[in-house]
Structure 1
Amino acid sequence: MSLSVIVPAHDEETVIGHSLRRMLEGAPGDLEVIVAANGCSDGTADRCRAVAPEVRVIELQSASKVAALNAADAAASRFPRAYVDADVEVSGEALAALAELLAQPGGPLVASPRMVLDLEGASGLVRAYYRIWERTSFRTEGHVGSGLYALSREGRARFGVFPSVVADDRYVQQLFRLDERATLHDHCFIVRPPRTLRALITRGGRIAAGNRELARLGLARRPESADASPERSGVRSVLPQLPTRPRLWWPFLVYCATQAATHFAAERKLRAGTTHHWDRDETSRL
């Protein structure tokens, strides 16, 4: 089973070696891994080359995730095609299952394994926030992306180059109807969210600004073709659960307050024109 894996990486030498080794364990025989090291000032590229000879590294001078995605996409030669953030942990077995699913005629066009949040070391407020986030319709209805998504050949043909936007995963997800998406519940990938509330708000502000950028550029799809953004759907989808679950009341207040803070953080970014600046969370990379 063939598969191309594209990994955009900017100054990720502390985590990318482990991520790549996990991908190669039990991976499909015809696996192509391309790392697009963009604007790196550390040893990311050398660390990738040291993992295995089959890892191909493309180096770009500027720090741009979109440029990295497009450069690696142009170099890739296999389908299906997976796009994986450098700090995400996914096994070769999960990638093989994705490749098999997306190669089936008449199958889904976009898919990902089940996402698991590693909250070890996260503050109580961060844990409370994600307790609600996991219950939103954004997470429970056709969620793919947020660090890893894979496209069939037909799915990748739905758009050309990646547009110059921050929310590339959101852009891709909303191109597909709910019945065109799939989640592999028997396999997972691990994401490490920010460990502090301040870092969570900073990251959330960038995500919210990216979602609004899609709307401003006319790249946001209609609700009937894809789910609403988490900013609009999060609170509404959780409210009916609250009357019978009093233990969710405090986490819900934390979630709402955090969403309000990310709204203001997004507004500041948009006004300052810093939406496209790298704003990486360092608390989850310690």
Structure 2
Amino acid sequence: MPAVAGRTDVVSMSVVIPAHNEEAVLPRLLKFLRADATLRVVISANACTDDTVAVARAAAGDSLRVVETQIPSKIVALNAGDTAAGDLFPRAYLDADVEVSAATLHALRNALTTPGGPLVAAPRLRVDTSASSWAARAHYRVWELSDYRGAGHVGSGIYALSAEGRARFGAFPEVIADDRFVQQLFAPSERLTLDEEFVVRAPATLRAHIRRATRIAAGNRQLARRAEVALATGSPVPAPRRGNAGSAGRPGYRNLLARVAVRPRLWPSFLIYCVGYGVPLMLAAVSERRGRSPGWNRDETSRA
């Protein structure tokens, strides 16, 4: 096997992959990871009704383990994966539909084990829109210019924690946006976005994007309400660290408008972006007022 930069000869990093009905995408992720004996990979299957477990077990080896729960919950799967991974850190948490190389995971490990280094890190996100409609591509052309893409962003499919970083909280709480929850626990100076990248396939249509983005917006609202309740009641809920406002709010909007303003070719795309960004916010707010859960709203169009 070719040498991988930063690789050691012993198991030196754990990887937890929660998976619910991921038979279509799990093989493309595991093909990058299963041959690397330095990674302890845990597939944490939850309430699968397809062949996810069979696919994972077919790839299982000395460094890959499969655990199952019949509870349909990503959070339950994350906590079960944590237990199965033991005390091996750093630890990466991967969504099953991402594409990332073992070399990129080793870069995360190296960053998180550097003295004085970050406590949480992620590769740079690249969204593959090659199979998306013109409207979905237009949305993402503008989204690429948003503050959301700034340094220190972790999540959107992958984040990794050092042992010290993971000690900042106990079990994963029942939240929709586990990645956003983790990011908010760390100040910008404690986070790192690597130059190495991982790939997420964009939804095939703007409508599919809106469905997925509605759940993301609902997750962000849930975390905001959770923090408000904790502040009001004195509950021991970890509070967001300073500088974690993200791209939401007037500064983020102004920055994006300024970037689009000097790019006339993006003006038509900006109108589509306003729909792709604004409609999910509205739908999430309506669902919250009515006391409804937005549902999983997983994008199936990028899993084909």
TM-score, normalized by length of structure 2? 0.87
Number of equivalenced pairs: 282
Instruction: Classify 1:230/1:130 alpha carbon distance in 2 versus 1 (closer, same or farther; 3 Å).
Output: farther
Residue of structure 1 aligned with 2:76, choices 67, 71, 94:
67
* Corresponding residue for residue 17 of structure 1: 27
Q: Which amino acid letter does the alignment assign opposite residue 283 of structure 2? A: A
Let me know the Cα RMSD of the aligned residues.
Answer: 1.8
* Offset, 1:229: 4.9
Q: Is the 8 A contact 2:169 2:238 kept in 1?
A: no
> What is aligned with 2:43?
35
Q: Does residue 63 of structure 2 align to residue 45 of structure 1? A: no
What is the alpha-carbon distance in structure 2 between the residues aligned to residue 175 and residue 13 of structure 1? 32
Q: Please list, as runs of the form range in 1=range in 2, the aligned pairs for 1:31-110 lying within 5 A after superposition.
A: 31-53=39-61, 54-77=63-86, 78-110=88-120
- Structure 1 spans left out of the alignment, 5+ residues: none
Q: Is the aligned partner of 1:209 residue 2:218? A: yes
Residue type of the alignment partner of 2:298:
R
1:120-131 counterparts in 2 under 5 A? 120-131=130-141
> Is the radius of gyration larger for structure 1 or structure 2?
2
SS at match of 1:217: helix
State the alpha-carbon separation in 2 of the partners of residues 51 and 279 from structure 1: 28
Question: Which residue number in structure 2 is paired with residue 114 of structure 1?
Answer: 124
**CA distance in 2: counterparts of 1:95 and 1:222, whole angstroms:** 26
Question: Mind listing any 5+ residue stretches in structure 2 that lack a counterpart?
Answer: 1-7, 228-236
1:236 corresponds to 2:254: yes
**Per-residue deviation, 1:36:** 0.7
Q: In 2, distance between residues paired with 1:212 and 1:38?
A: 25
Cα drift, residue 233 of structure 1: 5.6
2: CA distance between counterparts of 1:190 and 1:153? Answer: 26
Q: Distance in 2 between matches of 1:231 and 1:199?
A: 25
SS at match of 1:155: helix
- Report the Cα offset of residue 220 of structure 1: 8.6
Contact 1:39-1:60 at 8 Å conserved across structures: yes
What residue is the counterpart of 2:292 in the other structure? 273
Judge which range, 208-217 or 69-78, deviates more.
69-78
The separation in 2 between residues aligned to 1:40 and 1:229, in whole angstroms, is 35
Deviation at 1:96, TM superposition (A): 1.2
The range that moved more, 187-196 or 206-215, is 187-196
Aligned to 1:245: 263
